[in-house]
Amino acid sequence: MDIELARTFLAVAAAGNFVGAAQRLYVTQSTISARIQALESQLGALLFRRGRSGAELTQAGQRFLRHAKTLVQTLEQARHDVGLPAGFRGSLTLSGRIALWDGFLPQWVGRMRGTYPDISLRLEV
């Protein structure tokens, strides 16, 4: 299974519609539709009920949701662990709004570096 199919599924589930998922993933709505159709074909189950109000998870979609989360999280952790620089024993990823960078985050990063020098920090805006 292509991990992008699982990511797309999670984006649709979170957004509640294909248009919102397309915006989150910076792709077209037709790309989202094609990926979901491919995933449904691979799994042999309808994952969303599509309607005017958006896309609602079916029972099969609800069951697949936790598996998709696990797939994506496991791959992200593997990518991070394999890419962990020598001398580090662990890693921490932190995401935040740009507004946090002005005050809180620079001080926090400095304290983390001093307290936990063997932890790799990944910061995302």
Q: How many other CB atoms are there within 10 angstroms of residue 60's CB atom?
A: 15
- Nearest Cα neighbor of 94 from 72, 74, 113, 69 is 113
Domain ranges of the chain: 3-80, 84-124
Class of domain 3-80: mainly alpha
Work out the pLDDT band at 107, boundaries 50, 70, 90: confident
What is the rounded distance in angstroms from the CA atom of residue 95 to the CA atom of residue 116?
A: 19
- Please state the rounded mean pLDDT for residues 11-24: 96
pTM: 0.68
- Please state the rounded mean pLDDT for residues 104-111: 83
